[in-house]
Amino acid sequence: MANPVKCVGCWKPTFQVRLIGNNLREETCQQVYDSLLNNNITGLKHVAKKTQQDSAFLHFESHLAASAFHNSNVTGSFIIDGVSVTVQPIILTSGERVRYSQRGLSFAPTPTTPEREATTPTSAPEREATTPTPENETWKINVKRAIVELRDKEKQHEEELARIKKNLIIGGKHWHG
C-alpha cells in the first residue's frame, strides 16, 4: 500500500508521534510505512520523513490513536524489522512536549486450563460465550471502563477545540469555522 502524501494528522502535532533510530537514516518514507503496516498499528495514516534523517513522524487518525501508540510503548522503544527505535512525543514550537491523553492499550493473555484444552473446538466458543467466568467478566468491566474513559476524553477534546475556535482571531476577525 502506498504511503499517502497527506492525511488528517498533517499539521496536527497532537496526532503525531516521533520515531528515532540510526536504522531509519537510510529508509524512505515508503519503507518505514510498509514496515509499520506489518505491525498493524491502529489508526496509522501515514509517515513523514526526510531523506538521510534518523527520525520519522507517524501521523495518526486522531489524538487518541497517537496517544494509544505512544503510551503503549512506555519503555520508549519500538521494534521495526527487528531493530529497536526510540518512541518520542512531538515537541511543539513553544518547546512543550505533546501530552498524550489515552493510556496505552494492552490485553492480558487469556489463561488456559486443562478443562478448556480438553473441549472440542466447536463447543469451546459456545461454552465461553454462555458461561461467565471471572476472567471474561473482568475483561468486560475493563473494556466498558475504557470505552467510558475514551468517550469522556473525546468530549473534553471537543470542548477544548470549541473553546479554542471561539477565541481564535484571524486577520483581526473572529474565526467561525
Residue 109 domain-assigned (yes or no) = no
Do 19 and 83 share a domain, yes or no?
A: yes
Residue 100 domain-assigned (yes or no) = no
For 131, the grid coordinates are 458461561
Q: Give the number of domains in the chain.
A: 2
**Can you give the pLDDT at residue 117?**
44
Domain boundary among 88, 104, 136: 88
CB of 57 closer than 8 Å to CB of 66: no
For CA atoms 58, 13, 162, 155, give the dihedral sign. Answer: positive
> d(Cα 48, Cα 10) in Å, to the nearest integer?
9
**Tens of pLDDT, residues 7-19:** 888 889 999 999 9
User: Can you list the residues of the chain whose pLDDT is less than 50?
Assistant: 107, 110, 113-130
**Can you give the pLDDT at residue 143?**
76
Do 80 and 124 share a domain, yes or no?
A: no
Do 22 and 60 share a domain, yes or no?
A: yes
Do 82 and 131 share a domain, yes or no?
A: no
Q: What is the CATH number of the domain that holds 46?
A: 3.30.70.330
Residue 118 domain-assigned (yes or no) = yes
